[in-house]
Copies of this chain bind each other. A is one copy, B any other.
Amino acid sequence: MATTKENMVRVPQQVLRAFAETAFQRTGVPEDDARRAANTLIEADLRGIDSHGISRLDRFYLQGLQSGRINTRADWKVAQETATTARIDADRGLGLMVGTHAMEIAIEKAKEYGCGFVTVGNSRHFGASGVYATQPLEHDMIGISMTNTGPIVLPAGGRESRLGTNPIAVAVPVSSGAPFIFDAATSVVSAGKFETYHRQGKRAPEGWAVNDDLEPVTDPARGVTARKILPLGSDLEHSSYKGYGLAMVVDILCGILSGMGPGLSLGGQPGAFQSAHFFGAWRVDAFWDAKQFKEMMTDYLETMRQTPPAPGVDRVMSPGDIEAENKADRLKNGVPLYPDVVENLKDIAQRMEIELKI
């Protein structure tokens, strides 16, 4: 049965934030780390990236922390650095937490030298890429973040998965309105998209994933378990080598430049997803006047929004618009949760003896 909006529950973000923070702490994660990790999750929920928010708290993170596959008291450190670069060893800690530190280091370097870049190895699943990319915005900087993941995506023309969904996120400041936030897997769709289609009772279109015989997988419940998602472009005739190449760029900047190794070498199951990340920040006024830049950005995004839509399309959006609208709505009206997510949170609450008012 498809889950409809009618049976969703709206929960204030503060409630979810406090709950996640406490849950992380109960596993042994220090207070500041727990706060950072909870913030990364709830920010994803606020922006409407439901697949990367509180719904994964238990399966992706708490279970890993409790089993020891994620290090609760990770002693992450800068293993190497220059004026503008750093490589971090995350000590198997929560990517959700180390990621925010890494971007802060990139921002500090950018303040002093114009730009900063940080790779992170030996890390664990870091949630939604876009959350990190927006950290530099308040400093009038452009942010970029990426992560590699375990191999569930086919190389263009191949029949065995050797790449992750490897997302790229880029955020750019504006003078007013929603900032530019691009956040996308380099595969044709992310794993979370199959989940969304499954919840909505929709079939997955051809060109998203294939089975071992390379036939289309249209049952969204099997899209991820088949572990053969197609690169962006879907087939060779529509330039799937581009999605393939972009996924490799991400793998190289995250996995290889951090010394950890590419996604192919990563173990991966919920609660223990190994991964490596890449973060960067460019200070706008290291190139051009920041005020003029942001005004031009605002005009630019507005021009895109004004594009006449194709028949059947409501409106053309600029990347980041949906996120901004969701955030305004959810800050005011709460984060909508599916019944199974509510059940899961109640289960965590009982198991860990945390108060939860939903």
Contact = CB atoms under 8 A, between A and B. Distances in A.
Interface of A: 80, 82-87, 113-115, 117, 119, 142, 154-160, 162, 168, 170, 172, 180, 182, 184, 188-189, 205, 207-208, 214, 232-234, 236-239, 241-246, 248-249, 251-253, 256-259, 261-262, 264, 282-284, 286-289, 292-293, 296-297, 300, 303-304, 307-311, 313, 315-319
Given A84-B115, A157-B317, A236-B313, 15 more contacts: A82-B113, A82-B114, A83-B114, A115-B115, A142-B252, A157-B313, A158-B307, A159-B307, A160-B307, A162-B307, A182-B245, A238-B238, A251-B300, A252-B297, A256-B296
Give the number of copies in the complex: 2
A86 B257 CA distance: 25
Nearest to A239: B188
A234 B239 CA distance: 10
A184 B245 contact: yes
A158 B303 CA distance: 12
Nearest to A256: B296
Contact of A246 (B182, B236, B293): B182
Centre residue among A87, A258, A284, A287 by max chain B CB count within 10 A: A287
Contacts of A114: 82-85, 117
Contacts of A233: 188, 232-233
A238 B248 contact: no
Given A242-B232, A288-B80, A248 B304 contact: yes
Contacts of A207: 237-238
Given A115-B85, A239-B232, A252 B310 contact: no
Contacts of A168: 246
A258 B287 contact: yes
Residue in A189, A214, A296 whose Cβ sees the most chain B Cβ within 10 Å: A296
A299 to B, nearest CB: 9
Contacts of A284: 257
B308 A159 contact: yes
B160 A287 contact: no
A286 B106 CA distance: 14
A14 B325 CA distance: 58
Given A238-B188, A288-B259, A297-B256, A249 B87 contact: no
A155 B305 CA distance: 9
A177 B58 CA distance: 45
Given A239-B232, A309-B157, A293 B257 contact: yes
